[in-house]
Amino acid sequence: MEWGGSRRAQTRVATIARHISPAPCSASNPFMQVSNQMNDNGGIQIKGDVRDALERGLPVVALESTIISHGMPYPQNFETAKEVEAIVRESGAVPATIAILDGVPCIGLEEDELRKLAQLGKRAIKTSRRDIAYVIAKKMTGATTVSATMFFAAKVGINVFVTGGIGGVHREGETTMDVSSDLTELGRTAVTVVCAGVKSILDIPRTLEYLETQGVTVVGYGTDEFPAFFTPRSGCKAPSRVDTPEECAAITGTSYVALLTAYLLIELTVSFMNGILFFIF
């Protein structure tokens, strides 16, 4: 397919250009045409400040919601969610917590919606990409995992997603075939994921092999070692390393412009967790 004739190529280039050189949105912007159509059809709902930021080309950071419903009890989960959003705002970006509320995918949650999700806890459906259609069709409330959050973020043009630890290949996964859908999503969805590696209980060497198979660019920010969620040491080497926000931006931009089928995964050690949003621009 010719580069100039690819509508998908034009859309991706326009998206990365918008984040590098923010400009007000117009009716000719392909992303806004799509997102407006979604809202007009009662599909994805983009909340006020998030919509405004996307229209103006301002930085937006996606956040998952499973950590709210399934990660900790109420009210700690609610307070943590608000604190994370505040950190994003203090870093100069607009937070977009993503969830499905009563069958409606929402990009950005109001405080009362955050509280409702936090109070529901595990009664909310833990929603991966596999579960999206079911949760929407049944008009349920679903808390999005890494894969579902990436899916919705990409749909509305959010290019950066921040989370804790991603899923991976489970131990004895070579016989059980228990592999998180997070990994396949990373191989097909154009979103930069900033995280603290994979959860330490997983098979990290096989997870790295699977990421390589999926063509996912894995980069350590300020570290040569692949972290394991709550510890900076896993015994596994990170495939690549960067040390500045500018290097992160350059790799992300190259991924989008070159239309790579898999996109950037940036890993942070625990020592960098407090600065996790430093290079989100």
Is pLDDT of 14 > 90?
A: no
pTM: 0.79
Are 144 and 184 in a shared domain? no
Are 83 and 11 in a shared domain? yes
Are 148 and 194 in a shared domain? no
Are 148 and 179 in a shared domain? no
The boundaries of the domain holding residue 56 are 1-159
138 vs 38: which has the higher pLDDT: 138
Contact 82, 97 (CB under 8 A): no
267 is annotated as an active-site residue: no
The residue out of 159, 186, 203 marking a domain boundary is 159
Please state the domain count of the chain.
Answer: 2
Are 152 and 168 in a shared domain? no
Q: For the residues 221-240, what does the mean pLDDT come to?
A: 85
**pLDDT tens, 186-210?**
988 988 999 988 888 899 999 999 9
Are 185 and 231 in a shared domain? yes
Catalytic residue (one of 64, 85, 185, 225): 64
CA atoms within 13 A on the CB side of 27: 0
Q: What is the CATH number of the domain that holds 134?
A: 3.40.1790.10
Contact 215, 262 (CB under 8 A): yes
Is pLDDT of 98 > 80?
A: yes
Are 110 and 130 in a shared domain? yes
**pLDDT tens, 208-225?**
999 999 988 888 888 888
Token pair in block for residue 147: 């894969």
79 is annotated as an active-site residue: no
**What's phi and psi for 100, nearest 5 deg?**
-105, 120
Are 280 and 151 in a shared domain? no
Are 123 and 6 in a shared domain? yes
Are 127 and 168 in a shared domain? no
**pLDDT tens, 257-281?**
665 654 556 655 444 433 322 222 2
Mean pLDDT of the chain: 81
pLDDT value at residue 101: 97
The residue out of 137, 159, 181 marking a domain boundary is 159
Catalytic residue (one of 85, 185, 199, 225): 199
CB atoms within 10 A of CB 79: 12
Which helix (H) or strand (E) is 240 found in, with range?
Answer: strand 240-242
